[in-house]
């Protein structure tokens, strides 16, 4: 039985436009379960063990902003951990697609749900032959936002014959952490292009040119 895993993460919220959070992004990470990525996972776990964080969830945002369990760590240590997850994401046999909406372009709050629903539906239709080539599609999401969860269930169920939805625990799936990183990088690309990176982000990545050269150029080869 051919099975496709789809890991979903988001950045932003469904509230009104706020200049501090002007974008809403959803990243989907696709993994054909016939492709063994256990060696990639093992390398990541070994690296985390060596760094002294064997059980941590590698959330990109807290690493960049020096929050939560990463608060005691200096920049060099946090970059090292970030790069462990980045290298896992870059080398694992996965692809991804990100939907991005600039919220100030929306007239009403519910327009975000409409825009995302249409974009996801169009994407699934455009690649229908590929998705229908699988016997089963499993969508993993942490149910962090009810609005997005409803969109995923509605659109995937309408487009595909055999789709299953699972509530993911981030600590249990490195590919969910990869989705978090990809969503963060695509958000940073938008912010950098518009010269809107925060001080912590600019300190961590440098200029847009640095961000593109060191991270985006390689990872975007995996864009679906």
How many CB atoms are closer than 10 A to CB 68? 12
Q: Tell me the per-residue pLDDT of 159-186, one tens digit each, with 9 for 90 and over.
A: 998 999 999 988 889 999 999 999 999 9
- What is the model's pTM? 0.95
Report d(CA 3, CA 155) in Å as an integer.
19
Candidate ranges 42-56, 61-75, 94-108; pick with highest mean pLDDT:
94-108
For the chain, the structural domain boundaries read 3-222
The answer on pLDDT for 53 being more than 80 is no
Could you tell me whether strands 136-141 and 3-11 are parallel, antiparallel, or unpaired per DSSP bridges?
parallel
Written in H, E and C, the secondary structure of the chain is CCEEEEEEEEECCCCCCECCECEEEEEEEEEECCCCCHHHHHHHHHHHHHHCCCCCCCCHHHHHHCCHHHCCCCHHHHHHHHHHHHHHHHHCCCEEEEEEEEHHHCCCCCHHHHHHHHHHHHHHHHCHHHHHCCCEEEEEECCCCHHHHHHHHHHHHHHCCCEEEEECCHHHCHHHHHHHHHHHHHHHHHHHHCCCCCHHHHHHHCCHHHHHHHHHHHHHHHEC
The C-alpha angle 212, 27, 58, rounded to 5 degrees, equals 75
The answer on pLDDT for 140 being more than 80 is yes
Which CATH number is 3-222 given? 3.30.420
Mean pLDDT along residues 116-144: 96
Confidence of residue 108 (pLDDT cuts 50, 70, 90): confident
The pLDDT > 70 percentage for the chain reads: 99
């Amino acid at each position: 039985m051919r099975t496709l895993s789809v890991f979903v993460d988001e950045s932003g919220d469904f509230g009104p436009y706020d200049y501090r959070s002007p974008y809403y992004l959803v990243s989907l990470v696709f993994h054909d379960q016939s492709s063994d990525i256990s060696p990639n996972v093992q390398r990541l776990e070994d690296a985390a063990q060596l760094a002294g964080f064997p059980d941590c969830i590698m959330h990109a945002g807290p690493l960049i902003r020096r929050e939560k369990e990463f608060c005691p760590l200096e920049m060099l240590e946090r970059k090292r951990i970030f790069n462990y997850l980045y290298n896992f994401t870059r080398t694992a046999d996965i692809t991804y697609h990100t939907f991005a909406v600039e919220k100030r372009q929306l007239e009403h709050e519910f327009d975000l749900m409409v825009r995302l629903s249409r974009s996801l539906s169009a994407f699934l239709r455009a690649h229908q032959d590929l998705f229908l080539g699988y016997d089963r599609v499993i969508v993993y999401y942490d149910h962090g936002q009810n609005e997005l969860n409803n969109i995923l269930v509605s659109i995937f169920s309408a487009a595909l014959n055999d789709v299953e939805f699972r509530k993911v625990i981030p600590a249990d799936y490195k590919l969910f952490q990869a989705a978090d990183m990809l969503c963060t990088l695509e958000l940073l690309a938008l912010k950098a292009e518009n010269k809107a990176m925060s001080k912590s982000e600019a300190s961590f990545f440098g200029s847009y040119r640095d961000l593109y050269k060191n991270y985006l150029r390689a990872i975007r080869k995996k864009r679906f």
